[in-house]
Amino acid sequence: PAAGSQPLPAEGADTKTYLWARYHEMKKLVYDLLPPGVCNLLNPAAIYANNEISLGDVEIYGFDYDYTLAQYSNLLHSMIFNTARDILIEQFKYPEGLGKYDYIPGFAIRGLHYDVQKSLLMKIDAFHYVQLGTAYRGLKPVPDEEVIELYGGTQHIPLYQMSDFYGKGPSLKQFMDIFSLPEMTLLSSVIDYFITHGIEFDQVHLYKDISDAIRDVHVKGVMYKWIEKDMEQYILHGDEIYAVLNRLVNHKKKLFLITNSPFSFVDKGMKHMVGKNWRDLFDMVIVQADKPNFFTDRRKPFRKLDDKGSLQWDKINQLEKGKIYKEGNLFDFLRLTGWRGSKVLYFGDHLYSDLADLMLRHGWRTGAIVPELETEIRIINTEQYMHSLTWQQALTGLLERMQMYQDAESKQVLLEWMKERQEIRSLTKNLFNPQFGSIFRTFHNPTYFSRRLERTFYPRRTPLQHEAPLWMEQLCTGCMKTPFLEEMVHIR
């Protein structure tokens, strides 16, 4: 036994007293010996790489526009929600009572799945299990027992029902981009209204109507007009974008932009952030690219736009610096530029339509813009989170080691510990989001979102199960030295 630890109880001794003594001893270790400064170890503004990369080998930098170069304020989500809600009422003839619903900031998180047939919005982990406590019908949680019953006595979603490579399945839809936050909230609000008022509805029709209303906000250009009218209110971090792009150009890097947004919108936004000569920084600018089809479909040719944004009719045999192009496809882009493989690094916010094809099919290096990461790291850096997580790990270790005691009193102690562990899990989940928790993990597994992130970016070397003893310090705290490592080893 480690120094100072309680000796094992003699046969016939009071195991209940022994178990609680070990409990209090471990709690003291966790709360007294957690080193000063253990919080704030992670930098919220850092760039995190899970693959080796030499930036000296990267010659060409590509960017998406929305939520990559242009970051938007939360006010935009309220505007999208309100406008789509009004479209439902005015054009789709939904009940006027829906007008009382407003956007709820922080209700939903990215990466959630929606089961169209069951009207369930939920978080699913990397192994296709629903995280209990995170299934919502409307704005109210669905009891765990009902969720399990709905899926045939299990939390598991079969593979054939899950989303395909692009986040669309036969009955489940995954919401992967930041623009989907108002859509999930509107979906939940409409269902809440119908359930509250006892109105029957067809789940498929409702989902399609809301998707169409949200799409109209984007496709008909309403959103673009709001942003263009008041860029100071909607666009964030303009000065930082200018600094990054200029630094790359000064280091002789080539830059290109591929976006689904129209030229007039991008032009006004880039002039606001970077300046009127922003196009001088880019070797290629492609608008209305129709991603993800841009990366997979060879049929659409490039078309040139003049300085006023009008389409030209001439055939494109080369992509010229300073010119604006519309549509096109990646295969022609690669042929005309010769920009192939790992010398290209492309940044985007959508794991499917921006990044997955580029890495898996074409060998480009890719960078995911994940604004939520900064928020979650700030939470991880708090003393409350650090103490809760460390005590949860220690309590798990105690349960693993002490489950050998199976007398009635010991079983009662173990049940109390399991209940406490569940309470701690719920507490740490609520620190991120009261409804759905972190976008990166469930209680103990990565989320489906995290899994896709890892599949898109090759992970760095991590321990396999049979290698775990060689990685003990990293396993316990995620590459952070455990102040009570010897004790953790002992109880395991």
- What's the pLDDT at 474? 43
Map tokens 């994940």 to a residue. 370
Spatial separation of the C-alpha atoms in residues 140 and 171, rounded to whole Å: 21
Q: What is the DSSP letter of 465?
A: G
For residue 70, list its beta bridge partners. Answer: 66
Nearest-angstrom CA–CA distance, 245 and 237: 13
Q: Is 230 annotated as a binding residue?
A: no
Query: pLDDT at position 42, please?
Result: 81
Separation CA 484–CA 473 (nearest Å): 10
Distance (Å, whole) CA 3 – CA 211 = 62
Pairing of strands 60-63, 71-72: unpaired
Low-confidence ranges of the chain (pLDDT < 50): 1-5, 11-12, 165-167, 458-459, 471-492
Q: What is the pLDDT of residue 485?
A: 40
Tens digits of residue pLDDT in 115-154: 999 999 999 998 899 999 999 999 999 999 999 999 999 9
Q: Which domains does the chain have, with CATH numbers?
A: 15-43+373-477 (no CATH), 60-72+238-372 (3.40.50.1000), 79-228 (no CATH)
Surface-to-core class of residue 287, CB atoms within 10 Å of its CB (0-12 exposed, 13-18 middle, 19+ buried)? buried
**For this structure, is 64 an active site residue?**
yes
* Cβ(151)–Cβ(55) below 8 Å: no
Cβ(50)–Cβ(213) under 8 Å? no
State the DSSP code for 356: I
Q: Are strands 120-124 and 130-137 parallel, antiparallel or unpaired?
A: antiparallel
Q: If residue 86 lies in a helix (H) or strand (E), which one and from where to where?
A: helix 75-90
Q: What is the pLDDT of residue 477?
A: 41
Instruction: Give the Cα-Cα-Cα angle 486, 490, 492 (nearest 5 degrees).
Output: 120
210 touches 199 (CB < 8 A): no
Q: Is 4 left (phi over 0), alpha (psi -120 to 50) or beta?
A: left
In the structure encoding, which two tokens stand for residue 387, read together?
Answer: 């103490």
For the chain, the C-alpha Rg in angstroms (whole number) is 26
Torsion over CA: 350, 354, 358, 364 (sign): negative
Q: How many CB atoms lie within 10 A of CB 102?
A: 12
Task: Give the separation between CA 348 and CA 371, rounded to whole angstroms.
Answer: 11
CB atoms closer than 10 angstroms to residue 426: 13
Amino acid at 141: P
Catalytic site residue from 32, 66, 115, 202: 66
349 is in an annotated binding site: yes
Instruction: Say how far apart CA 167 and CA 290 lie, in whole Å.
Output: 17
- Whether 235 contacts 271, CB under 8 Å: no
- pLDDT computed for residue 64 by the predictor: 95
Catalytic residue among 64, 115, 177, 357: 64
Q: What is the dihedral of CA 63, 64, 65, 68, to 10 degrees?
A: -80
Q: Which tokens hold the place of 248?
A: 């790359």
**64 annotated binding-site participant:** yes
Nearest to 368 by CA among 47, 17, 7: 47
Measured distance CA(399)–CA(397) in Å, rounded: 5
User: According to the model, what pLDDT value does residue 44 have?
Assistant: 85
Q: Please state whether the peptide bond connecting residue 469 to the residue before it is cis, i.e. omega within 30 degrees of 0.
A: no
Does the annotation count 267 as an active-site position?
no
Whether the CB-CB separation of 117 and 203 falls below 8 Å is answered with yes
Q: What is the pLDDT of residue 443?
A: 82
Is there a contact between 396 and 420 (Cβ–Cβ < 8 Å)?
A: no
Ranges of H-type helices in 290-407: 293-296, 330-337, 357-362, 372-380, 383-402
Q: What is the pTM of this model?
A: 0.85
